[in-house]
Structure 1
Amino acid sequence: MSPSGSTGGSKSAPKGGVGGLLTPGRITVAVIALLTLVFIFENTRSTKIRLLIPEVTMPLWMALFATAVLGALCGGYFVGRRR
């Protein structure tokens, strides 16, 4: 019997299965995203924010969330351009 026909040995996880879905990098990003959302929604007081010329009053969570979304969009754009 040839070595390529044997059924014994170690088996690796399929590339498209759960093993590929839960990588350490993806788990780390999910934990950081969750902590960011907790931080944003814990800061609910209103604050004054100066947008170049006008000064607006808005909840701090809304300003933090908008900043996080803009940062994620910029990061996604630059990662997409690098590929």
Structure 2
Amino acid sequence: MTKISDSSGTRRSEIGGIPTRYIGIGVIVVLAAWFLFANLDKVKIQFWVFTVTAPLWIALLATLVAGVALGWLLKGRRGK
């Protein structure tokens, strides 16, 4: 693992020239895709007023997308 200082003086770690942050993101994406495709059964999803039958992977993907969007929206608040 190599530590490099960028122009702002912060240190970044790299493995084989690839920032470790990107490697971590890649691992999480692969694991999430594997988990989604391992859950192909149909399930009933009950909302307040109605019920929908859909493959479980769609519900999991929607939850993942909502979590990513929420994290992205709250990311800007962390620095303030």
TM-score by length of 1: 0.69
Is the aligned partner of 1:53 residue 2:16?
Answer: no
By percentage of residues, which structure has more strand? 2
The percent of aligned pairs where both chains have the same amino acid is 36
Question: Which residue identity is paired with 1:55?
Answer: T
Match of 2:11 in 1: none
By percentage of residues, which structure has more helix? 1
Q: CA RMSD in A?
A: 2.3
1:34 Cα deviation after fit: 1.0
1:41 Cα deviation after fit: 1.4
TM-score by length of 2: 0.72
Higher RCO (CA < 8 A, seq sep 6+): 1
Q: Which has the larger radius of gyration?
A: 1
Question: Which residue identity is paired with 2:40?
Answer: T
Unaligned runs of 5+ in 1: 1-11
Unaligned runs of 5+ in 2: 7-13
Q: Which deviations, in whole Å up to 9, do the C-alpha atoms of 1:25-50 show, x marking residues without a partner? A: 22112101110111001211100011
